């Protein structure tokens, strides 16, 4: 399976991918190192050649996930289109991403719970800059809003904290879809979400 010529980084990535698959399927908390090893087709001990502790795998998985989202967002943000159009695309892309891999989105909750994000208890280990990732999400949205303002596509008095509202709206919507996949699907939510966001930002009369 794994060629002997594989570099240390590649092997690590391979194990990480396996771990993400299992976490998504079983949940981090219920996933044993043994499970990750089996999925990655290696022995238990091998895992520890690439990760110091079980929790580090979760951290790495989250970072890989978040990086993917950020990369996609940055690409869209750089497109040659009106800012408002790019904002719309970003919202659609995030919802579409969750559509294709809902289990992966779940990983975020596991991460929150395991890492006690927002809790008063502290956890050992090198912390993942969770907040920093959201700061960048918001900055990206904020920068688009500024451009849209300059382009006259958005009201001039948009409150400062609006990026957080938009990011929250998208993430919260994903939660809803995760909780009640029967009633709600991400793709179907794009239109009403944008209706709320954009019409609220429109300079003149909506639509």
Partner DNA sequence: TATGAATGAGCTTTCATTCAT
Partner DNA sequence: AATGAATGAAAGCTCATTCAT
| Token pair belonging to 207 | 């639509």
Tell me the C-alpha to C-alpha distance, in Å, between residue 45 and each of 13, 19, 41, 51, 74. Answer: 16, 15, 12, 10, 38
Report how far residue 69's alpha carbon sits from residue 73's, in angstroms, rounded to the nearest whole number. Answer: 6
Q: Which residues bind DNA (CB under 7 A)?
A: 2, 4, 6, 8, 11, 31-34, 42-46, 48-49, 52-55
Tell whether residue 124 is a contact of a copy of itself (CB under 8 A).
no
Out of 1, 24, 45, 152, the residue judged to bind a copy of itself by CB under 8 A:
24
Packing angle of the helix pair 102-115, 162-179 (nearest 10 deg): 110
Q: Considering beta carbons, is residue 58 or 177 the nearer one to DNA?
A: 58
Tell me the C-alpha to C-alpha distance, in Å, between residue 36 and each of 29, 124, 193, 202. Answer: 12, 22, 37, 49
Q: Considering beta carbons, is residue 9 or 160 the nearer one to DNA?
A: 9
101 touches which of DNA, a copy of itself, none (CB within 5 to 8 A by kind)? none
Q: Which residue ranges make up the site for a copy of itself (CB under 8 A)? A: 24-30, 102-103, 105-106, 109-110, 112-114, 116-121, 130-131, 134-135, 155, 158-162, 164-176, 178-184, 188-189, 191-193, 195-202, 204-206
């Amino acid at each position: 399976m794994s060629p002997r010529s594989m570099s240390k980084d590649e092997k690590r990535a391979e194990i990480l991918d396996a771990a993400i698959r299992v976490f998504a399927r079983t949940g981090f908390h219920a996933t044993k190192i043994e499970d990750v090893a089996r999925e990655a087709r290696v022995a238990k001990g091998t895992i520890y050649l690439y990760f110091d502790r079980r929790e580090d795998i979760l951290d790495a998985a989250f970072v890989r996930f978040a990086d993917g989202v950020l990369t996609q967002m940055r690409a869209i943000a750089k497109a040659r289109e009106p800012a408002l159009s790019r904002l719309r695309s970003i919202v659609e892309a995030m919802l579409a991403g969750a559509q294709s891999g809902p289990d992966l989105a779940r990983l975020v909750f596991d991460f929150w719970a395991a890492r006690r994000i927002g809790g008063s208890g502290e956890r050992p280990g090198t912390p993942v800059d969770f907040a920093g990732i959201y700061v960048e999400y918001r900055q990206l949205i904020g920068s688009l809003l500024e451009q849209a303002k300059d382009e006259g596509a958005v009201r001039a008095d948009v409150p400062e904290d609006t990026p957080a509202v938009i990011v929250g709206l998208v993430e919260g919507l994903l939660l809803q879809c995760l909780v009640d996949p029967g009633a709600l699907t991400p793709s179907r939510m794009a239109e009403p979400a944008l209706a709320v966001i954009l019409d609220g930002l429109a300079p003149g009369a909506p639509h």
